[in-house]
Structure 1
Amino acid sequence: MTSVVNQSVFDLAELHRLTSAGKSRPESLRQAAVEFESMLYRQLLKSMRSVNELFAEDNPLSSQRTRFYEGMWDDQMAAVMARVQGAGLTDVIVRQLSSAPNQAPMMKKGLTSLMPAQAVGVIEKKTPLSPVSSRKQVQQPKQTSTLPESPESFVRWLLPVAQRVAAKTGLPAIGLIAQAALETGWGRHMLRDLFDRPSFNLFNIKADQRWSGPAVKKETIEFDGARMVKVPARFRVYENIEHAFEDLVSFFQSSPRYGQVWQAEKPEQYFEALQSAGYATDPKYAQKLKAVIQHPAIQQLAENLHRNTQD
């Protein structure tokens, strides 16, 4: 174990030994598998460092130099973890890619392989899978969410939740959907977290001192009194769109300056209340929201809602 720990990831001789080994198996295959597992550990550590950077903005101990040495340390740790302990991935890769004759009986017994049976000289008889084994092999991870791809699908996506919020709070459903459309570009420009998952932050609410949940740091455009400028800011991350709507209501309830939004009966009144309360720094925020409700997708929604109230 001592020799493995003392082995430096920056030792170029190690790379030379790997390339010199050529196709001598199984030594070169196992060594390559270890390097591959080490790469996965490096990606994991890099993602963890990225999360930590959100809290290091004002840290005097955080600098470009410290991040450089942290990266070197992470590379070394990844190499040690792959060689000393590992998650068993090395053995899996070696077993799947090995063409040794003693692997054939294992494949005949039904163990899966990344290589076709014919590639290793084994001819397997195809037999139907049992119901249990079929479920195990085709089972896929659950999809978190399918984001809408058009204004019409965006409206249909938000409508049920917006109507429930409107019935409970009195806020206009069309106004809420139009606000989410403006803030996210009909869902196409929704903020995403560090793992490229949707934040579901439909209303681009910032993560201030009142927020204790997850957040993502992005550049946003603010009006500084003279012109629009880009500034970094932290935004809240939600579990789903229901959570986003609930937090918007809580956001309004937590500040007296949003008292006028509860008096709004029409979308236009809701937009003016947002503008007066300073929800956005853009002086044309209400004007832009009024333009959004003229979109055919919103107009069709308004007609459908009006028709339902008449029935």
Structure 2
Amino acid sequence: MAALPGSLPATQLQALRGEAARDPKAAVQAAARQFESLFMQELMKSMRAATPSSGLMDNGGTQLGTEMLDQQFAQQLSGLPGGLADQIARQLARQQPAATSPASSASSASSESPTATAASGTVRELPRRPGSLSREALSPAALHAGSAPQQFVAQHRAAAQAASQATGIPADFILAQAAHESGWGRREIRMPDGSSSHNVFGIKAGPGWTGKTTTVTTTEVVDGVPRKVRQTFRAYGSYAEAYTDHARLLSQSPRYARVVAEGGSAQGFARSLQKAGYATDPDYASKLGRVIDTTLRVARSLNG
């Protein structure tokens, strides 16, 4: 028997209950997405009701088809990063007891960290947790007040502007790379106690690094084959320190000389970073370019 519009099918309810028993955190995300989908269905139903009908071909069949189409639209519109589901999931997660130790937190954070490169020149590719915030550009609908992109841009804008003065690269481009590498701050590399390393650029700690470090389990891609390894990354006392160190790396390393030279355009900045081997992802430049576009839209919305 089909579920009524605005209700959750029994099979999905059973699956959700089973997921809650196996993985409470995943169940929170699934429940939030289901709620947002139902909400979107009701929203479109209200919009349909407020729209005058021609009445020429209206019948039970067309009404059922419209309801099914609205359900498909609701599913497509639900679960977008920074949307209602994310807000609900965060609220529900706060009510769950913490069950991870500092060591497990560091390991988990490493598995959610982005693609990055060390000052020594080695590159890595770290996987994303399924369902985590995409590093690619978000739709304009997701850029509402309080979304992860807006929060990230507002929080990091001053540090990016300071780094821009040191490198000549536009602040929005630097900010976009930090957003791309850290998943808008949602996949930061963690310290052993679970606190942030503030390393939003994912820079490794080479032999010449004398500052704080954190060692986490990551996935290295070597000759196209992913391998689990332990890697040591730089750690900073603040995000401002991370942006300063990133600016120093780009401006002082001969490897990134072309990045600085071509950093005046979004395409040149993204393309030269990929050519310099900042990441192993062959689509790094195009992905970063889309995040730059998103960052520019967010910055304009914040400027009013």
Q: TM-score, normalised by structure 2?
A: 0.48
Between structure 1 and structure 2, the one with the greater Rg is 1
